[in-house]
């Protein structure tokens, strides 16, 4: 039942476009770059510049684009208008102005400014924002002001962008970046969330986001070869060199070759630190060869009248959610539907994970060509999280086309365990999407300790829209945390979610997420006396060699001294023996007394009346006149999926009521955070 309700929740968040027709939409790309002072540490070599420069060169002509920078203030670096040769020249000249001099991090202002002037979606365009930042919302020195701005972005700015169907792709360039805000912006608009571990990754991330925002026509690059057909007016080869020092070359079908220093009016060759960007207009038809050790991110885009058009696909899906795929070929603006032509094509779609393992494939050539020229398929739903890549290939012998699209399959909630060196552990739960009614959503945890005891604890909704539970373990060993989430979407649909069990070890020095053998009870130490430490024996200093004995000393004096010394040693040894044996008897007596005391305390515990606060294992059914209940096994599991079990366990956290008091029935709604009076409905 809950899976069906989850699908309703999913449909409200990300539309797969099952009924959408294939449209030739152009791209509207708006790039927002953080220039706050902290970038000096997180991007010391200012690799934002070459990444932005390559992005500018790769935006398809005929698109719209603009660039903004922000710190305390927001500035339009490159005007937002049609992308042409003049726009590229102007944008390339402005790249050097990307710096790290800003005082604050005005993310909200940047989003508003980048969508203010004509920011509303234009007919025939898909608007995408690429946001790069390394920090958190920071517009004032007062934390309360920044928190208020955070809420404004989430509660006002984001819904406005959602209403305009603008996608926001976020790149976090620091561990200090506000992950909650980045996820809210991206997942709330079906954008891409990316974290650059270092500035070197920026270029690849930017290109991937551009590829999703402004897909271009591509031809397959296989074994360093690609095919140019008669419909191709221009191709651009983006070559990432596996060896940065290597000199790449292009070998044409007529055996002529091109390299970085080749002089040709139809050739444009830009060489970067680890890549080459090569554009050739009016290329010769036939098979071309790239002479270089290629990185897998290399690709060939083309300008052609024969286009492969694909319906907009989601960047994010939930588990157990599929998507509809539709695509067609267009020649000079008309859909190719001639069955005689389509029968000659080899049309194949594949899904792979990030390691290249096959997840699904479909050969469309096995069936009759579609009468309207539109190929259709339903992408499979996955029952676990995965990063997947869809690849479409059309091989027409004399021409070929390729399309690729990456998407993430996610659980509706993400769970994180944060452990500190001080021994504190925090469980954090966040929603993957913005269609959740957080005021009605309740998250409850069952925490199982190493000794087998369990307790039910609610997670508290934080000011930044995630739920938290702070744990301070006292026992050493492995802990388990099972979560149950009772959620509502904004349309009032209810669903439940049960994330995988969390495991952690305490203290944190032990390996996390490893099954550990429970510690056995320490045995009572035997009454073995602690041996008395012998007094330190002072080693006699080497006696000086006698120069000469005084003459006339009698021998009997020497022998008498030796005898007295030996007798003294024997007396001291006897005294030490008596002392040790006496200590043994005392220790035996102390241990025996302690054992008797333990037995007495155990008897008292067994005979003690049950008048203390009830424990988790002491709860059973709900009879009107309940008989005495046997104590639950401390190691017994509580079925977190059973409402009755959770209800009975949750009641255990309350003290016993008087007979005349009515015991309120436990409900997950009781754990929902109270609404502030000022909170907006």
Domain CATH for 79: 3.40.50.410
In this predicted structure, what is the pLDDT of residue 422? 79
The neighbouring-strand residues paired with 335 are 330
In this predicted structure, what is the pLDDT of residue 295? 93
**In whole angstroms, what separates CA 220 from the centre of its chain?**
32
Query: If DSSP codes are grouped into helix, strand and coil, which group holds residue 146?
Result: helix
Length reported for the chain: 681
Structural contact between residues 197 and 169, judged by C-beta atoms closer than 8 angstroms = no
Q: Which of 233, 266, 297 is the last residue of a domain?
A: 297
Report the CATH number at residue 363.
Answer: 2.60.40.1930
Q: Within a domain: residue 479?
A: no
386-406-156-443 Cα dihedral, nearest 10 degrees: 0
d(CA 465, CA 331): 49
Q: Within a domain: residue 646?
A: no
The verdict on 268 and 343 lying in the same domain is: no
State both tokens at 432: 């993957």
Q: Within a domain: residue 354?
A: yes
The verdict on 137 and 102 lying in the same domain is: yes
Give Dmax (Cα) for the chain: 139
The verdict on 152 and 285 lying in the same domain is: no
**In whole angstroms, what separates CA 308 from the centre of its chain?**
33
Residue 212 host element (H or E): helix 202-213
Q: Within a domain: residue 513?
A: no
Phi/psi at 453 (5° precision): -75, 145
The verdict on 288 and 198 lying in the same domain is: no
In this predicted structure, what is the pLDDT of residue 406? 96
Q: Give residue for tokens 């099954």.
A: 515
Q: What is the DSSP string of 65-76?
A: EEEEEESSSEEE
Q: Within a domain: residue 7?
A: no
Using the Cα atoms of residue 30, residue 36, residue 42 and residue 44 in order, give the sign of their dihedral: positive
d(CA 582, CA 62): 101
d(CA 614, CA 598): 24
Q: Beta-strand (E) ranges in 420-453?
A: 425-431, 442-448
d(CA 358, CA 391): 11
Structural contact between residues 216 and 194, judged by C-beta atoms closer than 8 angstroms = no
The verdict on 171 and 29 lying in the same domain is: yes
d(CA 257, CA 268): 14
Number of structural domains (the chain) is: 3
Domain containing residue 140: 24-213
Residue 195 falls in which region: left (phi positive, over 0), alpha (psi -120 to 50) or beta = beta
The verdict on 259 and 345 lying in the same domain is: no
d(CA 653, CA 258): 77
State both tokens at 438: 């957080």
The neighbouring-strand residues paired with 447 are 455, 481
The verdict on 80 and 187 lying in the same domain is: yes
The verdict on 206 and 228 lying in the same domain is: no
d(CA 473, CA 480): 12
The verdict on 82 and 174 lying in the same domain is: yes
d(CA 215, CA 209): 10
In this predicted structure, what is the pLDDT of residue 1? 45
Q: Within a domain: residue 134?
A: yes
In this predicted structure, what is the pLDDT of residue 124? 83
d(CA 493, CA 320): 17
The verdict on 76 and 142 lying in the same domain is: yes
In this predicted structure, what is the pLDDT of residue 593? 44
In this predicted structure, what is the pLDDT of residue 521? 37
* Percent share of the chain, pLDDT over 90: 64
The verdict on 126 and 243 lying in the same domain is: no
Q: Which of 213, 238, 259 is the last residue of a domain?
A: 213
Q: Give residue for tokens 């404004």.
A: 152
d(CA 217, CA 235): 10
The verdict on 171 and 188 lying in the same domain is: yes
Is the pTM higher than 0.85? The answer reads no
Q: Within a domain: residue 264?
A: yes
d(CA 426, CA 144): 23
Question: Which alpha helices (DSSP H) does 14-142 contain, by range?
Answer: 39-42, 48-58, 85-94, 107-114
Q: Give residue for tokens 């999926």.
A: 641
Q: Within a domain: residue 425?
A: no
Residues of the chain below pLDDT 50: 1-20, 118, 511-553, 583-638, 640-641, 646-681
The neighbouring-strand residues paired with 516 are none
In this predicted structure, what is the pLDDT of residue 175? 81
Q: Which of 213, 236, 269 is the last residue of a domain?
A: 213
């Amino acid at each position: 039942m809950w899976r069906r309700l989850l699908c309703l929740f999913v449909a409200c968040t990300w539309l797969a476009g099952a009924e959408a027709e294939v449209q030739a939409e152009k791209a509207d790309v708006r790039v927002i770059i953080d220039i706050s002072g902290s970038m000096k540490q997180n991007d010391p070599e200012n690799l934002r510049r070459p990444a932005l420069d390559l992005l500018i060169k790769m935006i398809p002509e005929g698109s719209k684009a603009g660039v903004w920078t922000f710190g305390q203030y927001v500035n339009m670096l490159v005007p937002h208008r049609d992308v042409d040769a003049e726009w590229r020249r102007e944008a390339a000249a402005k790249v050097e102005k990307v710096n790290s001099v800003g005082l604050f991090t005005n993310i909200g202002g940047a989003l508003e400014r980048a969508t203010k002037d004509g920011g509303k979606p234009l007919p025939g365009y898909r608007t995408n924002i690429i946001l790069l930042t390394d920090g958190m919302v920071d517009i004032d020195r007062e934390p309360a002001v920044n928190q208020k701005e955070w809420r404004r972005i989430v509660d006002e700015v984001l819904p406005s962008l959602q209403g305009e169907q603008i996608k926001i792709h976020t790149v976090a360039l620091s561990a200090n970046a506000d992950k909650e805000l980045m996820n809210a912006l991206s997942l709330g608009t079906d954008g891409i969330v990316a974290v650059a571990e270092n500035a070197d990754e920026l270029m690849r991330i930017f290109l991937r986001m551009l590829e999703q925002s402004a897909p271009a026509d591509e031809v397959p690059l296989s074994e360093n070869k690609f095919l140019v057909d008669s419909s191709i007016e221009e191709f651009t080869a983006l070559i990432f060199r596996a060896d940065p020092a290597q000199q790449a070359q292009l070998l044409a079908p007529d055996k002529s070759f091109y390299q970085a220093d080749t002089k040709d009016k139809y050739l444009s060759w830009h060489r970067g630190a680890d890549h080459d960007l090569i554009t050739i207009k009016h290329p010769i038809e036939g098979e071309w060869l790239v002479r270089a050790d290629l990185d897998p991110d290399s690709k060939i885009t083309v300008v052609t009248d024969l286009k492969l058009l694909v319906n907009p696909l989601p960047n994010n899906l939930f588990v157990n959610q599929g998507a509809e795929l539709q695509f067609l070929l267009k020649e000079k603006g008309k859909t190719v539907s001639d069955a005689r032509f389509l029968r000659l094509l080899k049309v194949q779609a594949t899904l792979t994970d990030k390691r290249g393992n096959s997840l699904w494939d479909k050969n469309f050539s096995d069936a009759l060509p579609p009468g309207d020229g539109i190929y259709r398929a339903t992408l499979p739903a996955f029952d676990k999280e995965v990063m997947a890549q869809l690849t479409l290939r059309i091989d027409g012998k004399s021409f070929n086309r390729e399309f690729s699209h990456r998407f993430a399959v996610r659980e509706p909630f993400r769970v994180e365990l944060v452990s500190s060196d001080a021994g504190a552990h925090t469980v954090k739960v966040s929603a993957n999407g913005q269609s959740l009614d957080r005021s009605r959503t309740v998250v409850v945890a069952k925490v199982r300790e190493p000794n087998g005891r369990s307790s039910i604890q609610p997670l508290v909704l934080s000011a930044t829209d995630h739920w938290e539970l702070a744990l301070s373990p006292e026992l050493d060993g492995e802990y388990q945390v099972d979560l149950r989430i009772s959620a509502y979407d904004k349309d009032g649909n209810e669903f439940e979610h049960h994330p995988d069990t969390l495991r952690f070890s305490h203290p944190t020095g032990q390996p996390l997420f490893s099954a550990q053998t429970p510690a056995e009870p320490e045995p009572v130490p035997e009454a073995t006396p602690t041996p008395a430490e012998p007094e330190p024996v002072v080693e006699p200093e080497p006696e000086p060699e006698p120069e000469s004995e005084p003459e006339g000393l009698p021998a009997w004096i020497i022998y008498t001294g030796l005898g007295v010394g030996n007798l003294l040693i024997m007396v001291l040894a006897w005294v030490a023996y008596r002392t040790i044996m006496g200590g043994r008897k005392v220790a035996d007596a102390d241990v025996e007394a302690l054992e008797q005391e333990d037995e007495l305390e155990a008897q008292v515990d067994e005979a003690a009346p049950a008048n203390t606060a009830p424990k988790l294992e002491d709860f059973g059914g709900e009879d009107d006149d309940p008989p005495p209940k046997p104590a639950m096994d401390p190691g017994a599991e509580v079925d977190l999926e059973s409402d009755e079990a959770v209800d009975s366990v949750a009641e255990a956290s309350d003290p016993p009521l008087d007979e005349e008091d009515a015991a309120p029935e436990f409900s997950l709604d009781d754990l929902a955070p109270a609404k502030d009076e000022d909170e907006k409905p």
